[in-house]
Amino acid sequence: DLEVFFEQERDPVAVRMAAFTPKDPSDRAAFLAHWGRMLANASVTAKAVASLDHLSNGRFVFGIGFGWNADELEDHGVDMRRRRDVAREHVLAMQRLWADDEAAFDGEFVQLPPSWSWPKPVQQPWPPVLIGGAAGPKLFAHVAEYADGWIPIGGAGVRGARRARIR
């Protein structure tokens, strides 16, 4: 049965990565999405994340960043000024794939016809999504819209977040 096959199939890269996840159930496994992998295909990344969540027994945390290297972004066909919009759509499309039995997404950068994606993550509706970046209103707007938390990177960190909140 095709549905059973897709439900049991794991992403091979995720299987290799899972060998290095912490064995203590209180520890969390983390994966920072690299632009090349995430932009190649949202459904491929969704499958890898769901596979890692399964293989880590629901201890997986999905970390993303918007990127800072203009040359690298250009190599992936992403305009530096639109990178946040591109990443946002990829994450929103993945969230649909994780939550819905049959998912579709029609965005400016991601078009996904009605599709199946298995396995589904252990953590429902999906593993925690954390966005890395320097404190600021744009970053916090993204976190509030489609993420579960923030990874402070560069800048003033938490102190900068306090100042941004006070303003």
Q: Partners of 31 in the beta sheet?
A: 62
Instruction: Write out pLDDT tens, residues 91-116.
Output: 999 999 999 999 999 999 999 999 99
- Band of pLDDT at residue 57, cut at 50, 70 and 90: confident
Residue 47 CB partners (closer than 8 Å, separation 6+): 11, 14, 117, 118, 119
So what's the pLDDT on residue 38?
Answer: 56
* Token code pair at residue 18: 């899972």
CA distances from residue 141 to 65, 109, 127, 167 in whole angstroms, order as listed: 14, 19, 20, 15
So what's the pLDDT on residue 63?
Answer: 87
Nearest C-alpha neighbor of 110 from the set 81, 133, 85, 79: 85
The DSSP letter of residue 72 is H
